[in-house]
Amino acid sequence: MLSKKISLDKESEKQHHAPGFSARFLEEPVPKYEMPEGSVSGDVAYLLIHDELNLDGNPALNLASFVTTWMEPQAAALMAETLDKNYVDQDEYPQTTEIQNRCVNMIANLFHAPEAGVGTATVGSSEAIHLAGLALKWNWRKRRTDAGKPADKPNLVMGANVQVCWEKFARYFEVEPRYVPLTEERYVLGADEAVEMVDENTIAVVGILGSTYTGEYEPVERLNDALTQLNAKTGWEVPIHVDAASGGFVAPFTSPDLLWDFRLPLVRSINVSGHKYGLVYPGVGWVVWRDAAELPEDLIFHVNYLGGDQPTFNLNFSRNASQIIAQYYNLLRLGKEGYRKIMVALQDNARYLTEQLLSTGKFTMLSKLGDLPVVTFALKDDSRFSVFDISARLRERGWIVPAYTMAPNAQDIAVLRVVVREALSRDMADMLLEDINRAVAEFEKQAPEPKPKHAEKTRGVC
């Protein structure tokens, strides 16, 4: 059947899908912002959406994201096979629940929990952080009310470099956030500075195992020691939560002797992102507690309308099981040896990038080798051009390398950050270096007027 010629005025074109090859398939334009009256074939719908998504960046060149952009085809097949399973339906999908519980046990054991199995899968670390924060608030409130003291002014101490989901938790659940300022010499929380902000209303101090700004691990062991002394002196019971969103699947394999997890007595809960260095497509996270005593029973709901008693502690309810299954695939497939090889290789590539960038004499490094495989660097001289100019030039080549200012009180420092993931091979790293050096050389030739420093406030995002 011959299709009708599609003719639209300019205003209507903005409201409808009318691709150049549409005359082959479409008799009428397809609206973008309203449901069409009729149907189109699956092939047409696929082509319309597929071609539009070509305008997105290339995930393999997205060096801004900590999130996994590649998995083995066997994992992808398992994910496709389980997209129709709702993981909360424990009575209908008991084996999926069993697999989630196995993952919780494996992760809790990896973090040296004295009582494995106390935890849950979440939709990324944002939900995990909210759940951990609620447990900390509930436990603090119970201690206060049991002692006959007011429990209406909870606060949470953390570095100014925390990810934005901590701000969300504080705002949504009415907890005062107390931010330890950064300095131009210290880009993460300082243990002594954090303890100075603690009082009897502090529900916890947050330590980050891998800052989104620089990849640096915060001094959780020193924080544990300083808080232990303060608690002994005051009679308080201020605990630690470790935000290991990025570092939880790195440090156990590259720095096994580093004390940051449940080996430290005051660490009561830990969150980790399976979709970051857990090597799973987004979005899956995990939160685990030291033991059952740290998870208040009041926060656990029991439902029976799906069949059988189903305990649940999450902010989200329905979601497919595919990412949980993919996490289990990775844990089985790679084992500790596999994760160790991958993380060591990523750190080697981060080291290579660092050395090559330093050898140019143009940059200073803010990241720390041996922590997360992240390379954060600033221009030594940004009077003629800035890291924002370099970032924009790299985007022309397809690279997505973010430029941003550091958190208060170090926001006068502007940096570029490369997150090293599996997709960034040594060959790709060489291509990136060539494009960075080419951009710098071109900007130096142009020699524009000196630019003022950027002083924008920003919070870490992933």
| 193-235 pLDDT tens trace | 999 999 999 999 999 999 999 999 999 999 999 999 999 999 9
DSSP label of 62: B
Q: What CA–CA distance (Å, rounded) separates 360 from 351? A: 15
CA-angle at 94, arms to 92 and 97, nearest 5°: 120
Do residues 178 and 284 share a domain?
yes
**Together in a domain, 123 and 14:** no
Q: Where are the beta strands (DSSP E) in 98-171?
A: 119-122, 155-159
Nearest to 207 by CA among 155, 248, 162, 237: 162
Same domain assignment for residues 134 and 48: no
Q: Cβ(140)–Cβ(203) under 8 Å?
A: yes
Cis-peptide into 409, omega within 30 deg: yes
Contact 79, 323 (CB under 8 A): yes
Tell which of 302, 331, 360 closes a domain: 331
Q: Residue 169 sits in a domain of what CATH number? A: 3.40.640.10
- Structure tokens given for 169: 């938790």
Phi/psi at 215 (5° precision): 80, 5
- 40-56 pLDDT, tens per residue? 888 888 888 888 899 99
The residue out of 267, 300, 331 marking a domain boundary is 331
**CB contact at 8 A, 420 and 65:** no
Q: d(Cα 129, Cα 171) in Å, to the nearest integer?
A: 13
The Cα–Cα gap between 25 and 44 comes to 7
Q: List the domain range (segments joined by +) for residue 26.
A: 10-53
In a domain, 66, yes or no: no
Residue 29, burial from CB neighbour count under 10 angstroms (0-12, 13-18, 19+):
middle
Closest CA to 427 of 359, 349, 368: 349
| 141 and 23 within one domain | no
Q: Which two tokens stand for residue 460?
A: 């870490």
Rounded to whole angstroms, how far apart are CA atoms 378 and 155? 34
Judged on CB neighbours under 10 Å (0-12, 13-18, 19+), 21 is exposed
Shared domain check, 245 and 160: yes
Radius of gyration of the chain (CA): 25
pLDDT of 1 reads 35
Residue 86 lies in a domain: yes
Closest listed residue to residue 323, CA positions, set 25, 83, 84, 46: 83
Phi, psi for residue 3 in degrees, rounded to 5: -90, 155
Q: Provide φ and ψ at 323, rounded to 5°.
A: -70, -35
| Domain shared by 24 and 85, yes or no | no
Together in a domain, 353 and 223:
no
Strand partners, 176: 155
Is 348 found in the same domain as 206?
Answer: no
Question: Both 85 and 43 in a single domain?
Answer: no
The contacts found for 78-85 with CB under 8 angstroms, 24 or more apart, are 78/322, 78/325, 78/326, 78/329, 79/281, 79/322, 79/323, 79/325, 79/326, 80/322, 82/320, 82/321, 82/322, 82/325, 83/320, 83/322, 84/320, 85/320, 85/321, 85/322
User: Domains in the chain: how many in total?
Assistant: 3
The reply to whether 297 falls in a domain is yes
* Same structural domain, 314 and 436: no
Q: What pLDDT, on a 0 to 100 scale, did the predictor assign at position 6?
A: 47
The kind and range of the H/E element at 288 are strand 285-289
**What is the structure's pLDDT at 19?**
57
Q: Residue 3 gets which letter from DSSP?
A: P
Flag residues of the chain having pLDDT under 70. 1-14, 17-24, 302-311, 447-462
Claim to verify: residue 233 and residue 91 sit in the same structural domain? yes
**Is there a domain that residue 382 lies in?**
yes
Same domain, 355 and 320: no
Q: Final residue of a domain: which of 308, 331, 354?
A: 331
Please check whether residue 439 is in contact with residue 446, taking contact to mean a CB–CB distance below 8 angstroms: no
Q: In the numeric block, which tokens belong to residue 201? A: 């209303």
Q: Round to whole Å and give the CA distance between 323 and 78.
A: 9
